[in-house]
Amino acid sequence: MIKFGWAETDITPKQKISLEGEFFERVTDDVETPITVTALAIEAGGEQIIICSCDLVCVTEELVENVRERINTADINKSKIILTSVHIHNSYTYRRKSPLKKEFSQSLDIMKKYMPEDCEYVPQVKSNDCMNPDDAFEYLAEVIAKTVEVAWKKRSTGGYATGFGRAAIGLNRRVCYSDGTAKMWGDVDTATFTTLEAGTDSGIELVFVYDENKKMTGIVANVACPAQVMEQRSVISSDYWGKVKILLREKYGQDLMLLPICSAAGDLCPRDMVRWVEPETSIKDPNIVRNEPKFRKADPSMFDIKGTWKIGRRIFNEIEMAIEEIYEINQDAEFRHCSKVLSLPLRKVTDSEKVKSENRMREFLKGRKTLDYMDSAEMFVHAGTIQRYELQQVCNTVDAEIHAIRLGNIAFVTNSFELFHDYGNQIRARSVAEQTFIAQLSNGDLGYLPTEKAQKGGHYSAYVSSGYVGYESGELLVSATLDMINDLFE
């Protein structure tokens, strides 16, 4: 006998918020689509798990710990709570501390150490009525904890069915060149372009949940693509997942739940680097700007609302077909869970790399009277290198909490990274499960985990400042994850 419980809470702010993500400041109270947190509780055979998907850019270690502390329901095992994000760049900025629980300087703090005495940092956006990051943290922790408890309390006997879909959603965003370098969002309209760094994943792993009367109550959907169509826009938005939810509820009822999970997609995005389609209006990221790009007949702009609807319909169509193919609802299944904390080696910088970044910082700041957010972004790599040098003086490893769940013939696994897609492929290919659901950016925010090829190619997402660990840890993560899956299926 399996019990399932659902809960959803609207977290759309009632005031202006600072939007998380990007290298430029965005403050808004303009809502394109509501943002939510959704929890699914599962209980069977004395085991339990509660997965909560959040419309946030990440869920930090501190947020997970705080949510667990707020749980008051006695029969919830707090260690069984998994928080995951779909990596939306149009939601709350909230308080974020070092996952290593050690005091160290943020990038802007590093930059200020090298600023001339008469130089002033000028924020791009000033808003007195914008929600404070500390207040946002407290609000989110309380709402998520309550959503988890409601899902647990609502659990009742039911069943599930599995499904699969396929749609072009996540595409590789790292462009390789003939000199051996790579660049995220790199321009391909050049003779030096050789290839995209890695492949893509069009698969959609699906679970359909039913009550005891075989009425569908919710859907779990695992897609290898962050919800980043609207990332450059200054609006509150649930991106393409919000459109999937709208379409599903129009057909299957307004009480249908959706638990979106982002698979390994650290190097993927919703945009085609080769068939490049320009944004409908200008964007601020200089890395993405194209000079006189050629017109391409392809998708609508994947920087704008039309793009979210295009992806939303693709996912909805696949879900709809998968529902039509369901022939069996499982009302009993093997249900097991395990977790562990991996101690992974901190990615380090050399003395010469630190000196090079210091010299570049001093050169950039020389004679400057004012600095703004874009200046901070330009120095992000060098500040991050200096920051890592400081950190490695007091720390050698970083802890990553990972989980594995068996539900019948399928497996769910989690990690705390923006995990490059090749690692996800390795896990799925070698998993003994019939289907393997991968949830990145879960129970922690440890940044990007690039491949060896990406580290050699360089640029954002592969820089030392882009994450806490290097490709060696990717190999360790894959191995540990597969061991956990194998143990659950013995």
> Which residue type occupies 272?
D
Q: Rounded distance, CA 213 to CA 38, Å?
A: 23
The β-bridge partners of 165 are 204
> Which residue type occupies 173?
R
Domain count, the chain: 1
How much is the pTM? Answer: 0.96
Spell out the residues 6+ positions from residue 372 whose beta carbon is closer than 8 angstroms to its own. 121, 122, 123, 124
| CB neighbourhood size of 81 (10 A) | 24
Torsion of CA 294, 300, 304, 308, to 10 degrees: -150
- Residue 17 to residues 92, 97, 130, 232, Cα–Cα distance (Å): 6, 19, 5, 15
The β-bridge partners of 175 are 183, 196
**Strands, E assignment, 16-80:** 17-18, 27-28, 36-44, 47-54
Q: Residue 190: is its pLDDT beyond 90? A: yes
Dihedral angle sign, alpha carbons of residues 228, 233, 237, 243: negative
Tokens 């379409």 correspond to what residue? 247
Residues in the chain: 490
Spell out the residues 6+ positions from residue 143 whose beta carbon is closer than 8 angstroms to its own. 9, 11, 37
User: Which tokens hold the place of 244?
Assistant: 């999937």
Q: What is the pLDDT of residues 294-322, one digit of tens each?
A: 999 999 999 999 999 999 999 999 999 99
Q: Rounded distance, CA 413 to CA 402, Å?
A: 7
Residue 232, judged by CB atoms within 10 A of its CB (0-12, 13-18, 19+), counts as: buried
Domain ranges, residue 325: 2-488
Helix, strand, coil percent content, the chain, rounded in steps of 5: 30, 25, 45
Q: What is the pLDDT of residues 28-75, one digit of tens each?
A: 999 999 999 999 999 999 999 999 999 999 999 999 999 999 999 999
Quickly state the pLDDT bin for 102 (edges 50, 70, 90): low
Quickly state the pLDDT bin for 110 (edges 50, 70, 90): confident
Determine if residue 314 is left, alpha or beta; phi over 0 gives left, psi from -120 to 50 gives alpha, anything else beta. Answer: alpha
Q: Rounded distance, CA 11 to CA 333, Å?
A: 34
Least confident of 204-208, 365-369, 402-406: 365-369
User: Which tokens hold the place of 30?
Assistant: 């303009």
> Which residue type occupies 481?
T
Q: In the prediction, which pLDDT does 127 show?
A: 60
User: Which tokens hold the place of 155?
Assistant: 């659990």
Torsion of CA 435, 314, 445, 124, to 10 degrees: 180
Helix/strand/coil for 218: strand
User: Which tokens hold the place of 97?
Assistant: 């501390």
Closest CA to 401 of 484, 324, 462: 484
Q: Residue 125: is its pLDDT beyond 70? A: no
Q: In the prediction, which pLDDT does 109 show?
A: 78
User: Which tokens hold the place of 192?
Assistant: 């030096």
